[in-house]
Chain A
Amino acid sequence: MATLQKQADLLPPVVSTGIVGWLRKNLFDTPLNAALTLLALYLLYLTVPPFLEWALLKADWSGTRSADCSRAGACWVFIEVRLNQFMYGFYPVAQQWRVNLTVALLVVLVLPLFIKRFALKRWLAALILLVYPVIAFHLLVGGSFGLVHVETSKWGGLFLTLVIAVVGMVAALPLGILLALGRRAENMPVLKALCVAFIELWRGVPLITVLFMSSVMLPFFLPEGLNFDKLLRALIGVALFEAAYMAEVVRGGLQGIPKGQYEAADALGLGYWKSTFLVTLPQALKLVIPGIVNTFIALFKDTSLVLIIGLFDLLGSIQAANSDTNWLGFSVEGYVFAACVYWVFCFGMSRYSQWLEAKLHTGHKR
């Protein structure tokens, strides 16, 4: 009886393995695809090498004056000279450690939240939400504890962008949750109608009209003499605007909770607030964390609109530097720099949101 001898497997044909195989499979499998690949390569050839040449190879990196730039490529000297202004605005140089400290403090406080085994998360979160803002306020504004008072009109650059984005977000989230709960309150039709009206009103108008209202028209609606900081008013406008968007995100999450959860909470005899805050809302928020991060990204990009009402955020200070007589003709460098900074932040956050989405995708998997 002949034994069945196992033969070595034949190697796959050379055209389907290795680089050649990969190319055939992914780039040239049909004539159409081959044509598209060539077209794409041509497009890349047209755009990428000239850009790299401009941005890196022929760029000028060192110097202090516009005359130091050869103008054959990008003039990054412009960015270097103005960097301090792009980061801090007109915040006095001697006081800038306060900004750095505030940011560093936030980073140090927030980082442990990402450590899985860290036990005191709840206390830390409370600290960040309740104590940190007070510290940050006193550090940045000053006028107490021996710190020099720095007017908000001197704030600017990336620092201002971050202030608006973070404050807007922190204020918008709780407000958005309340609005979403109000919109879902079926047994209170009047309250529901009010919430719907509020949300739709804010979502229906462009942010720049909101900013215009808050920056120059708000005092019309207040008694004479009662007036507060321009930045604060812009912040309120941004927060209310984002709260409406946040409300819709949270509402989506609340709708995604199976009805059984609500009924189970009722069956346990939990009251409205207990069932909401202990049972349904945590689940809903977990569902919509990616949506919340996306809203935050949108908010971060929207902060650039404050330049229209005369606040010098990152884009605003670049726009202002572009019209400096000594540095005319470098607006492209300014825009590219701003684009890179915004991009790094937004892309980072969107990647984080995707990672979270994957991580939190438990329990509701079909």
Chain B
Amino acid sequence: MTQMTDPTGAPPRPPFWNDPKIRAIVFQVVVTLGVIAVGVYLVRNLMHNLEVRGISTGFGFLENRAGFAINQSLIAYDQTSSYGRTFFVGLLNTLLVSGLGIVLATILGFIIGIARLSRNWLISKLAAAYIEIFRNIPLLLQILFWYFAVFLNLPPPSEALSLGDAVFLTQRGLYLPQPMAQSGFGWTVFAFLAAAVASYFLVRWSRRRQDRTGQLFPAFMVSLALLILVPLGAFMVTGRPLAWTVPALEGFNFTGGLSVIPELGALLAALSIYTAAFIAETVRAGILAVSHGQTEAASALGLRRSWTLRLVILPQAMRVTIPPLTSQYLNLTKNSSLATAIGYPDLVSLFAGTTLNQTGQAVEVMAMTMAVYLAISLVISFFMNWYNARMALVER
């Protein structure tokens, strides 16, 4: 090599077809056009097919009378209600089972996850067995098992298992006494709200005092006492304005009181037990991610083991745990759609099932259903991102 290019001179501009910027633009234009073309193609086919086959379109059907009855509804519903209302009934049922499932799975998952790390050999192995058994069996199978093999094998209403003749467990569901507020119950509610506000300020005050002086104040216990005793006092003073309707066997079934249908029970059991196995692993990984030095430092400070866990390990573990925990919550919500296998009236089973079939407007109904799940996903991830950001700020 005798000649060298001048190192200071600008390199020659590459021909434009080799310029990465232009290439990127061309490539994106091509891909976008491709996606648009496919989209147009599909939508045109759809419009054409709907028109040729005389299928009615539009969302007008939501106003029509539904005419079928529903097993469980959180809002007023009867057969004269509209299809639009079945959408909300299904949505609320989905939210109910997901919400309860998330709470139960979290509690169970944390217990199992911590038990997995227990120094007690037996407890640790049992937790490991739980995790390995339940997360390696398909959820649908677990749902079918709980429903057909457990809940439907409970005794019939005539031989109901009862607790003090107020709570009854049968294959048709769990029946509980229902509290009915009488006049004057408002005072109890008011007292509860007042106690809640008071404990909020109490906790804030005790935190500030701790920051300032280092003295501990049992704020948790005191606010708990406030929250229980104050409303209770008001309740007693106003003359116990609460009546209970107790379920009783009448004809074919128990009537009166609150009832929990077995479909909900089976779905909830399967969802929370299955998801808890994953949450337990998440929690374990989170705790293991906290360096051992933290535990040693806490011991050196003379913290009790339970305090170490609560004040040192868990808060730090939460930061690692929250992102995977979010996706478990999302999974649980989406998995609740398996309700359709056992007839729990959730969104997919009720709206994308019965309503779709009665109206025949598959495109609109499926679009609404999928939009709901997408929205729930977005809301949960949005909330968790916000929480995550808040937790992350603690770190310097």
Q: Are A221 and B140 in contact (CB under 8 A)?
A: no
B141 at the A interface (CB under 8 A): yes
On chain A, the residues within 8 Å of B366 by CB distance are 209, 212-213, 217
Closest B-chain residue to A38, C-beta based?
B122
Q: Are A37 and B132 in contact (CB under 8 A)?
A: no
- Partner of B137 from the list A209, A272, A331, A342 (CB cut-off 8 Å) is A342
Q: Are A347 and B341 in contact (CB under 8 A)?
A: no
On chain A, the residues within 8 Å of B341 by CB distance are 307-308
Q: Are A188 and B136 in contact (CB under 8 A)?
A: no
Given A220-B362, A308-B340, the answer on whether A332 and B149 have CB atoms closer than 8 Å is: yes
Chain B proximity mask over A205-235: 1 for CB below 8 Å, otherwise 0? 1111100110011001111100000000000
Q: Are A301 and B120 in contact (CB under 8 A)?
A: no
User: In whole angstroms, how far apart are the Cα atoms of A332 and B150 in the complex?
Assistant: 9
What distance in Å separates the Cβ of B141 from its nearest Cβ neighbour in chain A? 6
Q: Are B27 and A191 in contact (CB under 8 A)?
A: yes
On chain B, the residues within 8 Å of A27 by CB distance are 120-122
Interface of chain B residues 110 through 159 with chain A (CB within 8 A): 118-123, 126, 132-133, 135-141, 144-145, 148-149
Instruction: Report the count of interface residues on A (CB-CB < 8 A).
Output: 56
A148 at the B interface (CB under 8 A): no
On chain B, the residues within 8 Å of A43 by CB distance are 126
Q: Are A331 and B149 in contact (CB under 8 A)?
A: yes
Given A212-B352, A213-B366, the answer on whether A204 and B42 have CB atoms closer than 8 Å is: no
Q: Are B335 and A206 in contact (CB under 8 A)?
A: yes
- Partner of B123 from the list A36, A189, A220 (CB cut-off 8 Å) is A36
What distance in Å separates the Cβ of A23 from its nearest Cβ neighbour in chain B? 9
On chain B, the residues within 8 Å of A221 by CB distance are 42-43, 45-46
On chain B, the residues within 8 Å of A206 by CB distance are 334-335, 337, 348, 373
Closest A-chain residue to B34, C-beta based?
A194
User: In whole angstroms, how far apart are the Cα atoms of A301 and B145 in the complex?
Assistant: 15
Q: Are A217 and B120 in contact (CB under 8 A)?
A: no
Closest B-chain residue to A221, C-beta based?
B42
A276 at the B interface (CB under 8 A): no
What distance in Å separates the Cβ of B382 from its nearest Cβ neighbour in chain A? 12
On chain B, the residues within 8 Å of A194 by CB distance are 31-32, 35
Q: Are B136 and A342 in contact (CB under 8 A)?
A: yes
User: In whole angstroms, how far apart are the Cα atoms of A347 and B277 in the complex?
Assistant: 13
Given A206-B348, A223-B45, the answer on whether A26 and B121 have CB atoms closer than 8 Å is: yes
A350 at the B interface (CB under 8 A): yes
B181 at the A interface (CB under 8 A): no
Q: Are B338 and A208 in contact (CB under 8 A)?
A: yes
B369 at the A interface (CB under 8 A): yes
Chain A interface mostly helix, strand, loop or mixed? helix
Chain A proximity mask over B35-46: 1 for CB below 8 Å, otherwise 0? 100000011011
Closest A-chain residue to B50, C-beta based?
A220
- Partner of B141 from the list A216, A315, A347, A350 (CB cut-off 8 Å) is A315
Q: Are B363 and A347 in contact (CB under 8 A)?
A: no
- CB < 8 Å A-B pair total: 146
What distance in Å separates the Cβ of A349 from its nearest Cβ neighbour in chain B? 9
User: In whole angstroms, how far apart are the Cα atoms of A220 and B119 in the complex?
Assistant: 59
- Partner of A338 from the list B43, B135, B141 (CB cut-off 8 Å) is B141
Interface of chain A residues 271 through 305 with chain B (CB within 8 A): 272, 297, 301-305
Chain B proximity mask over A26-68: 1 for CB below 8 Å, otherwise 0? 1101000100110011011000000000000000000000000
Q: Are B121 and A346 in contact (CB under 8 A)?
A: no
On chain A, the residues within 8 Å of B352 by CB distance are 209, 212
User: In whole angstroms, how far apart are the Cα atoms of A188 and B374 in the complex?
Assistant: 25
On chain B, the residues within 8 Å of A188 by CB distance are 24, 27-28
Q: Are A204 and B133 in contact (CB under 8 A)?
A: no
B20 at the A interface (CB under 8 A): yes
Interface of chain B residues 324 through 380 with chain A (CB within 8 A): 334-335, 337-338, 340-341, 348, 352, 362-363, 366, 369-370, 373-374, 377-378
Q: Are B28 and A190 in contact (CB under 8 A)?
A: yes
What distance in Å separates the Cβ of B246 from its nearest Cβ neighbour in chain A? 31
Max chain A C-beta neighbours (<10 A), residue from B21, B149, B363: B149
- Partner of B49 from the list A29, A220, A319, A346 (CB cut-off 8 Å) is A220
On chain A, the residues within 8 Å of B52 by CB distance are 224
- Partner of B132 from the list A223, A307, A347 (CB cut-off 8 Å) is A347
What distance in Å separates the Cβ of B270 from its nearest Cβ neighbour in chain A? 12
A343 at the B interface (CB under 8 A): yes
User: In whole angstroms, how far apart are the Cα atoms of A217 and B367 in the complex?
Assistant: 12
A352 at the B interface (CB under 8 A): no
Max chain A C-beta neighbours (<10 A), residue from B126, B137, B363, B373: B137
Q: Are B119 and A26 in contact (CB under 8 A)?
A: yes
What distance in Å separates the Cβ of B226 from its nearest Cβ neighbour in chain A? 30
A98 at the B interface (CB under 8 A): no
Chain A proximity mask over B144-186: 1 for CB below 8 Å, otherwise 0? 1100110000000000000000000000000000000000000
Given contacts A194-B32, A209-B373, A217-B366, 20 further A-B contacts (CB under 8 A): A26-B121, A37-B123, A40-B122, A187-B21, A194-B35, A205-B334, A205-B373, A208-B337, A209-B348, A220-B363, A221-B45, A223-B45, A302-B138, A308-B341, A315-B144, A319-B144, A331-B148, A342-B136, A346-B135, A346-B136
5 closest A-B pairs by beta carbon, nearest first, are A346-B136, A26-B121, A204-B377, A206-B337, A301-B138
